[in-house]
């Protein structure tokens, strides 16, 4: 189950005891507070707390740029201006704290985003649950032949069954040995900090992750991208839905300029100008390498 009975009881108590506040609240995210969103087979994302909303971004920007902006731009327009011109500090005025339950191999990918505050469940002090991520058959793919860090065709039939059987058997065997090392017929077992090293990377861990909106957008731009690994992308997608309810104006600008937009080099921009002038461009006349030209063509076909 995604939540332990103790966590579920704690959440139920929090939801049953709302507290009055003088701070600004965002109705869209209030509905998400203390609600676990299931992800993968045993994972979850849960909003623990937040600070700020769209108006906090606007307020911070008007402090920075002067009261004059208030008379020429509405809130949504100002937020779009900030996003368009990469003014990041107003977005840092908003923060969110999430409780995330995720496989260890996803956590090790996630932690590369170092602009957040993290506190992870400690297997030095506590015993990890027997919960492992086992991919659904439709997500069990072969290694891509053209991308060293991507997936190819989905495995099917006997090969898929063989791989799934090995994943389940290896996980169960590793956990059996983990338990045996911790306690051996009433005798003092191996220290937890050592026994944990025997567990595979698909075992579930948990953490609290607190991040400001600017850095969260950077995380989502990379991890909600269609090319991101599926197992972290589904977490990013779940968080994105929460953010869309929390700061709708900022989310709309983010989708437009970051997720749906594209960035061109000076060489690429010059190529576009020459194409608009009627010149037929090729890789040889563009001044780009083959890799750059391939990516440039991809942007023109599908900017997202």
- Which pLDDT belongs to residue 265? 94
Q: Tell me the per-residue pLDDT of 79-134, one tens digit each, with 9 for 90 and over.
A: 999 999 999 999 999 999 999 999 999 999 999 999 999 999 999 999 999 999 99
Of 212-216, 259-263, 300-304, the poorest mean pLDDT is in 300-304
CA torsion 33-39-43-44 (nearest 10°) is 0
Can you tell me the distance from the alpha carbon of 292 to that of 284, in angstroms, rounded to the nearest whole number? 11
Can you tell me the distance from the alpha carbon of 195 to that of 178, in angstroms, rounded to the nearest whole number? 6
| Catalytic residue annotation | 223
How many whole angstroms from its chain centre is CA 242? 12
Helix axes 230-246, 213-223, angle to 10 degrees: 140
- Which pLDDT belongs to residue 294? 92
The residues, any chain, with a CB within 8 Å of residue 182's CB and separated by 6 or more, are 127, 189, 190, 192, 195
167 compared with 4, residue with greater pLDDT: 167
Q: Tell me the per-residue pLDDT of 171-194, one tens digit each, with 9 for 90 and over.
A: 999 999 999 999 766 677 899 999
- Which pLDDT belongs to residue 202? 97
Helix (H, G, I), strand (E, B) or coil at 50: strand
Can you tell me the distance from the alpha carbon of 234 to that of 223, in angstroms, rounded to the nearest whole number? 9
Closest of 6, 96, 7, 9 to residue 44, by C-alpha: 7
Tokens describing residue 19: 């507290």
Question: Rounded to two decimals, what is the model's pTM?
Answer: 0.88
Can you tell me the distance from the alpha carbon of 295 to that of 118, in angstroms, rounded to the nearest whole number? 35
Whether pLDDT at 62 is above 90: no
- Which pLDDT belongs to residue 24? 82
If pLDDT is split at 50, 70 and 90, which confidence band does 14 have?
confident
Residues constituting the chain = 304
Q: Tell me the per-residue pLDDT of 188-223, one tens digit each, with 9 for 90 and over.
A: 789 999 999 999 999 999 999 999 999 999 999 999
Q: Are 95 and 211 in contact (CB under 8 A)?
A: yes
5-131+204-259: in CATH 3.30.1360.170: yes
If pLDDT is split at 50, 70 and 90, which confidence band does 29 have?
very high
- Per domain, the residue ranges of the chain are 5-131+204-259, 134-201, 266-301
Instruction: Report CA-CA distances (Å) from 143 to 134, 151, 153, 154, 225.
Output: 17, 5, 8, 9, 19
């Amino acid at each position: 189950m995604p939540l332990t009975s103790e966590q579920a009881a704690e959440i139920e108590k929090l939801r049953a005891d709302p507290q009055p506040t003088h701070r600004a609240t965002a109705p869209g995210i209030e509905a998400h507070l203390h609600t676990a969103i299931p992800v993968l087979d045993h994972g979850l994302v849960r909003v623990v707390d937040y600070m700020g909303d769209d108006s906090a971004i606007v307020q911070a920007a008007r402090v920075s740029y002067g009261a004059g902006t208030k008379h020429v731009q509405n809130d949504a327009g100002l937020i779009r201006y900030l996003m368009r011109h990469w003014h990041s500090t107003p977005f840092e005025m908003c923060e969110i704290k999430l409780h995330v339950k995720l496989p260890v191999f996803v956590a090790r990918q996630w932690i590369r985003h170092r602009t957040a505050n993290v506190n992870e469940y400690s297997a030095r002090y506590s015993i990890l649950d027997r919960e492992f991520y086992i991919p659904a058959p439709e997500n069990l793919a072969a290694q891509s032949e053209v991308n060293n860090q991507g997936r190819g065709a989905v495995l099917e039939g006997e090969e898929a069954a063989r791989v799934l059987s090995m994943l389940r058997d290896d996980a169960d065997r590793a956990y059996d040995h983990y338990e045996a090392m911790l306690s051996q017929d009433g005798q003092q077992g191996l220290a937890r900090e050592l026994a944990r090293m025997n567990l595979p990377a698909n075992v579930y861990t948990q953490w609290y992750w607190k991040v400001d909106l600017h850095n969260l957008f950077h995380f989502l731009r990379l991890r909600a991208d269609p090319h991101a690994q599926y197992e972290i992308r589904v977490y990013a997608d779940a968080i994105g839905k929460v953010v869309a309810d929390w700061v709708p104006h900022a989310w709309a600008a983010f989708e437009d300029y970051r997720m749906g937009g594209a960035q061109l080099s000076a060489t690429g921009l010059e190529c576009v100008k020459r194409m608009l002038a009627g010149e037929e461009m090729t890789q040889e006349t563009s001044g780009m390498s083959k890799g750059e030209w391939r990516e440039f063509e991809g942007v023109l076909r599908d900017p997202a």
